[in-house]
């Protein structure tokens, strides 16, 4: 329901226009199947619709596409019929759908909008009639050197837009976006409790190509079968609720070295470690960009602040840094970059201690402010955000113009993975996305540790004389190569070396998938660069890509109309928007106010004189665009914590503190010269050796793990110190361990 409909009816629940009764659920089940590889996924998403209403219903299900994703087709199935969709230009598809509705036929339309948001309309669903709609989707994955992470949205998160109108309901919330930017996109009603909504589940095949050692999920309980190259992964219980994304992480035995061919095209994935160690590091310019909006409240922002402290502690004297925090305002630690001195670190700690979550998510303003700090030479921005924003093309344009590599660490139970992956790929950075219950600090430190110069520059990839597009290779970021070529060997070269990889002919099904994945990624990238409705050359390019690959886009939609016995022309169905669950761990008040109450079964504003529109305006007033950037000057030092961790056996003071907490705390205590603090040189040496041993025990080395920069700095410090014989022996052992 729109805000206008709410005003007219005085109700905030979905109701029948004829009877005034609440509509019954029109969708019962969403089930995900398909195959996931390190190059991407080909998925079937089955939606089961059945209405308990006494008259025909039009069910609208709203969802968002995953990263690098596009919709290929759908099948609509029911008793006595099965039909496959047609790919049509949007206007023609909508007209065909509306004619089907007018004729009383079963009509299905899948249409895409900005930000990869989709509406699936199922019109003239008869009372008690079960109908299945099976969508075929091509999607990307988050790739790492020795694994990949797959994320699929089972819900659509509410998000910030400065022109949005939001309304709080007794058991959830509702939002409306400006029509001039989002067209007739319908958003769902968000329910506080997802139980009682449609069930979700999955049964997927994960294929590594060179063997998978482990498959885990931080989001759902799994049942896992198979071994070697593939795994069969399903939901461990009969069904779950739509309040969080599915996240699967697969790990390989070694860094990727895959090359597949199919009908004159090659797709290859090469781990960064195949190119050797990073080149000699040059002084770094880095700005930590922290989203402090209301939706980041709780442990995410607490862990993020501590991880930023630890990251700053790993900086060398020649490195320079700053911090920018944003909500609907932007605040900067400084008006220029600081050196990594002790004084600068204390100022950074004080700045972080003042940060609390509130307000909206003006992400573009935060990026702009950070980019100004590293202009004109450029540098790296480490962005931590939930990414919950609508209308992302202008933000991406701002990022592309910023002249910085943006490394985005997303966090949340519902996906903005598509947007954040584009933010990284379009600026030369990297992107990772965590669930709300994973550790932010270790992931941020690991990302920070991989921010350096390239492992390999001027990379050239050839297949029997044909050169394929390639880029510089950076630590922890495998190189993905796609292009038209034919041959049996991939030749990879750069200034410092070369290697070859055999090209294997892909099985038929996999080969067709690889071609479609390339097309989906190309379409998603082009769409992200289009503000407003596609027009002119942009629309023509998008149409050409859709027709080339047979994939839907913002200019091409999927439609099917099924004529059934007993269709009644002229009987218009009642519209029912399928509700979804409020994402797990997301506070409703971050997006929906609490300015309503129930009186006699009908909802009113608490102030009887306050109309709905002013209420919405008051709620959204807190999301005003930023007007200034404030810079903090010198600040007094804050309390240090090293005394708690002087011994090897750390006493855990609270039940909540973990070994990871201790390690991050230790990392944040590195002094500017790379050693741990202490009252005397001898005490500092002992403390540094003990901290070094603890980081190595956790699995970090010189080249691996979230504390690899801390390991290097500690080794440099103790190597130059005046060691006694016992300390020298300890250092020799630690150096051997750090070299692994």
pLDDT at 687: 95
Determine which helix (DSSP H) or strand (DSSP E) holds 513, and give its type and residue range: helix 508-528
Q: Which tokens go with 546?
A: 């859709």
Task: Name the residue range of residue 470's domain.
Answer: 255-276+455-531
User: Is 670 inside a domain boundary?
Assistant: yes
**320 and 339 share a domain?**
yes
pLDDT at 595: 38
User: Is 322 inside a domain boundary?
Assistant: yes
Would the pTM of this model clear 0.75, i.e. be above it?
yes
Torsion on CA atoms 715, 719, 724, 728, rounded to nearest 10: 60
**CA pair distance 44, 202, nearest whole angstrom:** 10
pLDDT at 226: 79
pLDDT at 598: 29
**511 and 422 share a domain?**
no
Query: Is the pLDDT confidence value at 599 over 50?
Result: no
pLDDT at 26: 64
Residue among 80, 403, 388, 413 at smallest CA distance from 244: 413
What is the secondary structure of 272-285 as a DSSP string? Answer: GGGG-SPPPPPPPE
Q: What is the pLDDT of residues 42-62, one digit of tens each?
A: 999 999 998 888 889 999 999
Torsion on CA atoms 91, 92, 95, 100, rounded to nearest 10: -140
Q: What is the pLDDT of residues 86-95, one digit of tens each?
A: 999 999 999 9
**260 and 342 share a domain?**
no
Q: How does residue 645 score in pLDDT terms, banded at 50, 70 and 90?
A: very low
* Phi, psi at 264, each rounded to 5°: 80, 15
Query: Is the pLDDT confidence value at 156 over 70?
Result: yes
Q: What is the pLDDT of residues 407-423, one digit of tens each?
A: 998 888 877 889 999 99
Q: What is the pLDDT of residues 374-393, one digit of tens each?
A: 988 889 999 988 878 899 99
pLDDT at 279: 61
User: Helix (H, G, I), strand (E, B), or coil: what is residue 740?
Assistant: coil
Strand partners, 37: 40
Sign of CA dihedral 378, 388, 37, 520: negative
For β-strands 330-332 and 629-631, DSSP reports them as: parallel
**312 and 416 share a domain?**
yes
Query: Is the pLDDT confidence value at 20 over 60?
Result: no
Query: Is the pLDDT confidence value at 671 over 70?
Result: yes
Query: Is the pLDDT confidence value at 601 over 70?
Result: no
Residues contacting residue 222 through CB under 8 Å, at least 6 positions apart: 215, 216, 233, 234, 235, 236, 248
Higher pLDDT, 612 or 590: 590
**CA pair distance 508, 506, nearest whole angstrom:** 6
pLDDT at 316: 86
Query: Is the pLDDT confidence value at 258 over 70?
Result: yes
pLDDT at 476: 85
User: Is 158 inside a domain boundary?
Assistant: no
Indicate the average pLDDT of the chain. 84
**670 and 701 share a domain?**
yes
Q: Which tokens go with 153?
A: 């949205």
**CA pair distance 676, 718, nearest whole angstrom:** 10
CA distances from 510 to 39, 206, 271, 513, 516 (A): 10, 12, 21, 5, 10
User: Helix (H, G, I), strand (E, B), or coil: what is residue 44?
Assistant: strand
What is the secondary structure of 369-436 as a DSSP string? Answer: HHHHHHTTT--EEEEEE---BS--HHHHHHHHHTTSEEEEEEE-SS--HHHHHHHHHTTT--EEEE-T
**417 and 512 share a domain?**
no
**341 and 463 share a domain?**
no
**CA pair distance 191, 169, nearest whole angstrom:** 9
Query: Is the pLDDT confidence value at 218 over 90?
Result: yes
Higher pLDDT, 281 or 115: 115
Check if the beta carbon of residue 481 is closer than 8 Å to that of residue 237: no
User: Is 392 inside a domain boundary?
Assistant: yes
**CA pair distance 636, 659, nearest whole angstrom:** 30
Q: Which tokens go with 207?
A: 């294929």
Q: What is the pLDDT of residues 102-142, one digit of tens each?
A: 999 999 999 999 999 999 999 999 999 999 999 999 999 99
**CA pair distance 176, 167, nearest whole angstrom:** 9
Q: What average pLDDT does range 622-629 have in this prediction?
A: 34
Query: Is the pLDDT confidence value at 650 over 80?
Result: no
Higher pLDDT, 643 or 150: 150
**495 and 422 share a domain?**
no
Q: Find the angle CA(418)-CA(384)-CA(39) to the nearest 5 degrees.
A: 35
* Phi, psi at 439, each rounded to 5°: -75, 120
Query: Is the pLDDT confidence value at 169 over 90?
Result: no
User: Is 490 inside a domain boundary?
Assistant: yes
Q: What is the pLDDT of residues 515-538, one digit of tens each?
A: 999 999 999 999 999 988 999 999
User: Is 579 inside a domain boundary?
Assistant: no
**CA pair distance 576, 17, nearest whole angstrom:** 11
For β-strands 142-144 and 57-64, DSSP reports them as: unpaired
Q: What average pLDDT does range 674-696 have in this prediction?
A: 95
CATH number of the domain bearing residue 496? 2.60.40
Residues contacting residue 41 through CB under 8 Å, at least 6 positions apart: 34, 35, 66, 137, 138, 139, 140, 141, 150
- The total domain count for the chain is 3
Query: Is the pLDDT confidence value at 7 over 70?
Result: no
Instruction: Using the structure block, give the residue that is written with the tokens 């910023």.
Output: 402
**441 and 416 share a domain?**
yes
Q: Which of 104-113, 455-464, 640-649 has the lowest mean pLDDT?
A: 640-649
pLDDT at 372: 92
User: Helix (H, G, I), strand (E, B), or coil: what is residue 187?
Assistant: coil
**417 and 294 share a domain?**
yes
* Phi, psi at 179, each rounded to 5°: -65, -35
**261 and 367 share a domain?**
no
CATH number of the domain bearing residue 409? 3.40.50.410
Q: Is the peptide bond before 92 cis (omega within 30 degrees of 0)?
A: no
* Phi, psi at 569, each rounded to 5°: -60, 140
Which domain-ending residue is among 386, 417, 446?
Answer: 446
Which domain-ending residue is among 479, 509, 531?
Answer: 531
Where would I find the H helices in 56-112? 90-102
Q: How does residue 608 score in pLDDT terms, banded at 50, 70 and 90?
A: very low
pLDDT at 306: 84
Query: Is the pLDDT confidence value at 215 over 90?
Result: yes
pLDDT at 228: 64
Query: Is the pLDDT confidence value at 541 over 60?
Result: yes
**405 and 512 share a domain?**
no
User: Is 159 inside a domain boundary?
Assistant: no
Which domain-ending residue is among 503, 531, 559?
Answer: 531
User: Is 574 inside a domain boundary?
Assistant: no
Using alpha carbons only, how large is the chain's radius of gyration in Å? Answer: 27
Q: Which tokens go with 327?
A: 């909500």
**CA pair distance 602, 10, nearest whole angstrom:** 7
């Amino acid at each position: 329901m729109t805000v206008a409909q709410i005003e007219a009816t005085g109700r905030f629940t979905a109701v029948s226009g004829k009877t005034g009764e609440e509509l019954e659920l029109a969708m019962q089940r969403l089930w995900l199947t398909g195959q996931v590889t390190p190059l991407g996924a080909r998925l079937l998403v089955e939606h089961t619709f059945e209405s308990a209403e006494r008259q025909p219903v039009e069910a609208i299900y709203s969802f968002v596409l995953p990263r690098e994703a596009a919709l290929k087709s759908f099948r609509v199935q029911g008793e006595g019929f099965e039909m496959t969709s047609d790919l049509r230009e949007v206007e023609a598809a909508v007209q065909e759908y509306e004619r089907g509705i007018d004729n009383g036929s079963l009509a299905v339309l899948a249409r895409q909008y900005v930000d990869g948001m989709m509406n699936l309309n199922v019109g003239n669903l008869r009372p008690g009639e079960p109908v299945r709609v099976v969508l075929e989707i091509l999607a990307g994955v988050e790739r790492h050197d020795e694994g990949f992470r797959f994320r699929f949205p089972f819900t659509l998160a509410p998000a910030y837009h400065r022109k949005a109108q939001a309304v709080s309901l007794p058991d959830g919330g509702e939002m409306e976006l400006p029509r001039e930017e989002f067209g007739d996109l319908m958003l769902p009603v968000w329910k506080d409790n997802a139980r009682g909504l449609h069930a979700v589940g999955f049964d997927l095949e994960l294929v590594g190509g060179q063997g998978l050692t482990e498959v885990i999920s931080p989001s759902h309980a799994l049942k896992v079968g198979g071994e070697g190259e593939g795994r069969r992964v399903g939901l461990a219980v009969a069904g779950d609720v739509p309040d969080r994304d599915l996240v699967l992480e697969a790990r390989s035995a070694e860094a990727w070295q895959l090359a597949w061919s199919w009908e004159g095209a090659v797709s290859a994935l090469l781990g960064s470690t195949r190119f050797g160690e990073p080149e000699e590091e040059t002084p770094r310019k880095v700005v930590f960009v922290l989203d402090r909006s209301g939706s980041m409240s709780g442990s995410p922002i607490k862990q993020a602040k501590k991880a930023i402290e630890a990251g700053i502690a790993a900086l060398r004297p020649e490195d320079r840094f700053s911090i920018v925090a944003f909500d609907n305002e932007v605040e900067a630690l400084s008006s220029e970059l600081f050196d990594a001195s002790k004084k600068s670190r204390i100022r950074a700690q004080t700045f972080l201690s003042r940060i609390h979550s509130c307000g909206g998510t003006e992400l573009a303003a935060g990026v702009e402010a950070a980019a100004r700090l590293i202009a004109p030479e450029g540098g790296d921005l480490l962005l931590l955000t939930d990414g919950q924003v609508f209308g992302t093309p202008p933000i991406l344009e701002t990022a592309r113009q910023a002249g910085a590599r943006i490394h985005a660490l997303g966090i949340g139970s519902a996906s903005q993975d598509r947007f954040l992956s584009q933010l990284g790929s379009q600026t030369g950075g990297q992107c990772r996305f965590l669930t709300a219950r994973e550790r932010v600090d270790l992931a941020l430190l690991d990302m920070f540790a991989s921010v350096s110069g390239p492992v390999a520059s001027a990379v050239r990839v050839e297949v029997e004389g044909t050169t394929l597009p390639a880029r510089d290779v950076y630590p922890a970021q495998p190189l993905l190569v796609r292009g038209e070529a034919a041959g049996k060997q991939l030749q990879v070269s750069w200034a410092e070396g070369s290697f070859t990889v055999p090209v294997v002919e892909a099985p038929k099904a996999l080969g067709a998938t690889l071609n479609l994945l390339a097309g989906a990624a190309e379409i998603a990238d082009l769409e992200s660069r289009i503000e407003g409705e596609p027009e002119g050359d942009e629309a023509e390019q998008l149409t050409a890509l859709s027709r080339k690959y047979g994939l839907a886009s913002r200019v091409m939609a999927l439609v099917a109309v099924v004529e059934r016995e007993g269709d009644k022309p002229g009987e218009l169905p009642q519209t029912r928007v399928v509700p979804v669950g409020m994402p797990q761990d997301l506070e409703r008040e971050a997006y929906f106010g609490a300015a309503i109450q129930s009186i006699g079964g009908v909802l009113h504003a608490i102030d009887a004189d306050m109309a709905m529109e002013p209420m919405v305006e008051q709620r959204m007033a807190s999301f005003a665009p930023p007007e200034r950037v404030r810079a903090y000057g010198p600040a007094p030092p804050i309390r240090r914590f090293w005394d708690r961790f002087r011994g090897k056996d750390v006493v855990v003071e609270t039940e909540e503190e973990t070994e990871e907490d201790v390690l991050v705390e230790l990392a944040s205590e590195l002094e500017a010269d790379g050693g741990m603090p202490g009252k005397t040189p001898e005490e500092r040496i002992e403390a540094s050796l003990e901290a070094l041993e603890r980081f190595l025990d956790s699995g970090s080395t010189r080249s691996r793990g979230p504390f690899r920069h801390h390991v290097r700095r500690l080794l440099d410090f103790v190597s130059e110190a005046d060691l006694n014989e016992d300390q020298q022996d300890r250092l020799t052992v630690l150096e051997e361990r750090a070299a692994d």
